[in-house]
Amino acid sequence: MFCRAEIRRLKEIEKKLNDVNCELHCILKESIEAEVMEFSRDFWKSEERLHLDETKAFFRAVGGGVLKRSSLFLTLINPVKMYKIVQNFKSIGERTPRNNLNGEGLIMGGLMVFKEGGEIVYSHREKEWGDCAPIEEVLEAAKAANKHRELRERSV
């Protein structure tokens, strides 16, 4: 559900990302055929940049080496967390129609920006459901990654 909202936000700035030579890639943690087909058709539309992470390596990396799972029970008994999640749900519902709760929903995700060569220049780990990376930070990280590339190309 939340990845759809994050994808929609990133797709809105995709031209700006492309202008600084930054490509979007989407990492899936599971493959539910009907869900992947709908997601590809309605949200992603870039099958060549849609990847299944069967080992959850990306999710471990964004979690600092640990596969971060949210605890439904601990979330329900924490009023501050519940308030944040309800706010996230409201915000996401306004931006992204046709959300669903299909599939595994407890593994926390995130977003990373890499320089050419694989060095991470930005990482955002989802702290609770619907905690999306600030778009301004993503754009700045993409610009920083591109500057590194431009400097390297000029020196060659």
Helix (H) or strand (E) holding 94: helix 79-95
Q: How does residue 63 score in pLDDT terms, banded at 50, 70 and 90?
A: confident
Rounded to the nearest integer, the mean pLDDT of the chain is 80
Q: Give residue 21's domain range.
A: 2-155
Which residues lie below 8 Å from residue 142, measured CB to CB, with a gap of 6+? 16, 17, 20, 22, 113
Over residues 126-153, the mean pLDDT reads 82
Instruction: Check residue 61 and give its pLDDT.
Output: 92
Mean pLDDT over 9-31 rounds to 90
Q: Lowest-confidence range among 20-29, 61-70, 101-110, 119-128? A: 101-110
Dist CA 38 CA 35 (whole Å): 5
User: β-strands 26-28, 50-52: how paired?
Assistant: parallel
3 state SS of 89: helix
Number of domains forming the structure of the chain:
1
Is the overall model pTM greater than 0.75, yes or no?
A: no
Residue 6 vs residues 11, 44, 65, 153, 154: alpha-carbon distances, Å: 9, 11, 22, 32, 34
Q: Tell me how far CA of residue 140 lies from CA of 10, 16, 121, in angstroms.
A: 13, 11, 10
